[in-house]
Amino acid sequence: MLKKSILKISLIAGIGLVSSGVYAADVNNGKTLHQSKCYQCHAEKSGLGNGDIIYTRSDRKVKDIQRLKTQVSMCNTQLRLDLFPEDEADLVAYLNQQFYKFK
């Protein structure tokens, strides 16, 4: 009985999320995830010991918000970092606020 109502509640919450179409991204979560999952490798790959430079280098790949989403998703999938879509959205929000500043 209890199980059933929990299921019901999560179903309703899930539908609410989808139908509203708006997920309020959590920039702080994005920042934490970035520190723990992304920074180190970018620091090593750029050879500069700083994981933020990859986003601001003059020949950076990401030129718009769509490309940013694609790239975050690519790094996540290719490297099997196991992030949820919400985590990706948080990372995109953090990177955009901090570095890219797309509208």
Question: For binding to ligand HEC (CB under 6 A), which residues are involved?
Answer: 37-38, 41-42, 45, 54-55, 60-62, 68, 71-72, 75-76, 79, 81, 83, 91, 95
Side chain identity, residue 75: C
**Which of 24, 82 has the CB closer to ligand HEC?**
82
C-beta of 22: minimal distance to ligand HEC in Å? Answer: 21
Shortest spacing between CB 23 and ligand HEC, in angstroms: 17
* 35: CB partners within 8 A, 6+ apart: none
- Here the tokens at position 67 are 């490309």
Distance from C-alpha of 11 to C-alpha of 40, rounded to nearest angstrom = 37
